[in-house]
Each structure stands twice: as C-alpha cells, then as structure tokens.
Amino acid sequence: EVQLVESGGGLVQPGGSLRLSCAASGFTVSSNYMSWVRQAPGKGLEWVSVIYSGGSTYYADSVKGRFTISRDNSKNTLYLQMNSLRAEDTAVYYCARGKYSSSPGAFDIWGQGTMVTVSS
C-alpha cells in the first residue's frame, strides 16, 4: 500500500527546534517530488517546501533560512528540520508526494499530518 506516515510533532517553545519525519511505503521517496504543506488551526493550506528527485530544494519565504527539507534514501523517509520556531509556525504539517516522478504536479498522496505547537 502506498502511504506516508508523519511523526515528530509536539509542543515547543518559541526559538526552539523540531524535526518532523515522514516515512514512506509502497514507493521510493528519492524518485518523487516530495513536499511539506502546513495548515494553521482553522486556516487554509500553505505550501512550505519541496525536494525534487534530483535533490534540489525550495522553500516558502516564510520559512526560508529556518527550515530544511531532506531525505534519507536508506530509510525511505522525508524530513523537515525546523529551527527558530515562531508562534506563527503552529500548524498541522503534512508531507505529500508529487504525482509525477519527473515533473511537478499535483500532490496525490498525503500523510495524516502531525501537529506542531509553538508556545511558551
């Protein structure tokens, strides 16, 4: 079965760090475009970051310089390292797979989401 399972969310103080994980099964993370998308409580969807199959990475301006997307091919897992966290980073974080392996497209597989709360 093709699926994504996130973990690593929790409560963290402003300025703190957290690393989210997204374990994939049924497909190879390194062969696909993989993204993180977040949703603040009661709000809409916000794209956060992408890592292309070739390894290039891109970020939303709101997280650039603070967040790092990466993957471990041996574990078939996607990561999001979040540093210098702010209250406005509070959200459910989803990992999502790009539908096409060789070009951008829709997000066809989503994880269940993991909640990150930034508060003192």
Which residues lie near other proteins (CB under 8 A)? 35, 37, 44-47, 50, 58, 60-61, 94, 99, 104-108, 110-113
Please give the Cα distance from 44 to 57 (Å, whole number). 23
Provide, rounded to whole angstroms, the least separation between the CB of residue 58 and other proteins.
5
Provide, rounded to whole angstroms, the least separation between the CB of residue 85 and other proteins.
20
Decide whether 73 or 103 has the Cβ nearer to other proteins. Answer: 103
Q: Which of 54, 50, 41 is nearest to 89 (CA)?
A: 41
Decide whether 77 or 111 has the Cβ nearer to other proteins. Answer: 111
Q: Is the dihedral of CA 9, 54, 24, 2 positive or negative?
A: positive
